[in-house]
Amino acid sequence: MAVHFLIPFLLFLQAITPSSASNSSSAAIGINYGQVADNLPSPEAVIPLLRSLGVGRVKLYDTDPRVLRAFADTGVEFVVGLPDRLVPKVRDPAAALSWVKTNLHPHLPRTRIAAVTVGNEVLSSNDSARIQSLLPAMQSVHSALATLGLDRQVAVTTAHSLAVLSTSFPPSAGAFRRDVLPYVSPLLSFLSKTGSPFLINAYPYFAYKADPKRVALDYVLFQSNQTVVDPGSGLRYDNMLHAQVDAVRAAIAAAGGGKGVEVRVSETGWPSAGDEDEAGATAENAGRYNGNLMRMVAEGKGTPMAPGAPLHVYVFALFNENLKPGPASERHYGLFKPDGAPAYPLGDAEAPVDNSTSPTAGAHSPGASSTDYYTTISSATMGTERVSVVTAASVLALILPFA
């Protein structure tokens, strides 16, 4: 792994991290370490790469023992995953205890495991057995950790897609789908009781991809000079990610039982390449999205609804993964190529590159007004790790301003 490839990243990170940033702010950025590929470097080779980037938080989709052993005594904090297929099984307390003893206990405390995600986007799936098993499985895993004296060290949570929402705009009107609410409400009570975060996978890229003529690219790339006003709260939004996160916060408040639950972004990113019909999937846009995102997180900025709470974010993803199914974009979310070279430069200050037909000026640009908006969100499977596609209707709901 050539060291000279890292120089642009090091200079970028030095530039975006303010001298006054708190430790909690600088540690708020993490990265998803996916491994759906046959050409990735060894876990041992990943360690100096992460150290060079100053990233101290890593999220896995499993409990790969090679990775967890390699990162022993490094101080890197991990969120590990219990696969979807095991969710129904570990609702049995004995099975949960066996899983924890086999997959977590041998690595603690030398490897820092801060949380376990029980499944990924289960509540927006079509698997009724997994949906019904989700909370019992989380409770069983938590009980297993308590039995081993690890419950104060390792949190138990699960990640959700935006498809769990029925209403997403304005953010203050955020609400969970009626069919999901019976499962979300007790889950929120569990998270509140155990002090665990609510994780959301949020991708403004899908909004732009679905309707590039009406979605303002600068708004999704954190480069808008205008704001969208939430008529319910009066809060102003200059980027879509914050609007998405605050819609989740509002939905949690409306559901009740989630007092004090922190919202964290467990996945967000932008592809550096894609198929011909995948608008916006370019290296330039990926560099701007992730560069501006990392700068915002490093500055410790919260969302308009919670400005004093630095937003914790896990970027998707560390590497391009050549075996991921689906459109070409799925194989180009990495900050790095498998050889350790950056997939694209970060922090370019040029104007955003819009590779779609220029949108008609007026009603659907941030800062303009609209009295027509939509609130339906749906999801479709796009691989084993990330299941989150926003329909055209929900795209408009996420970004269209109100009169």
State the catalytic residues: 121, 267
Coil, helix or strand for 222? coil
Contact in structure between 63 and 81 (CB atoms under 8 Å): yes
What phi and psi values does residue 306 have, to the nearest 5 degrees? -140, 65
H-type alpha helices, 327-400: 392-399
Rounded CA-CA distance 65/78 in Å is: 12
Q: Which amino acid is at 402?
A: F
Number of neighbours of residue 52 by Cβ within 10 angstroms: 17
Rounded CA-CA distance 392/378 in Å is: 10
Distance between first and last Cα of the chain: 53
Kind and range of the H or E run holding 275: none
344 CB-near residues (< 8 Å, 6+ apart): 272, 283, 284, 286, 287
Rounded CA-CA distance 120/80 in Å is: 11
80 token code pair = 């590990």
Rounded CA-CA distance 176/260 in Å is: 18
What phi and psi values does residue 266 have, to the nearest 5 degrees? -85, -20
Torsion over CA: 53, 55, 59, 62 (sign): positive
393 CB-near residues (< 8 Å, 6+ apart): 374, 375, 376
Rounded CA-CA distance 313/26 in Å is: 11
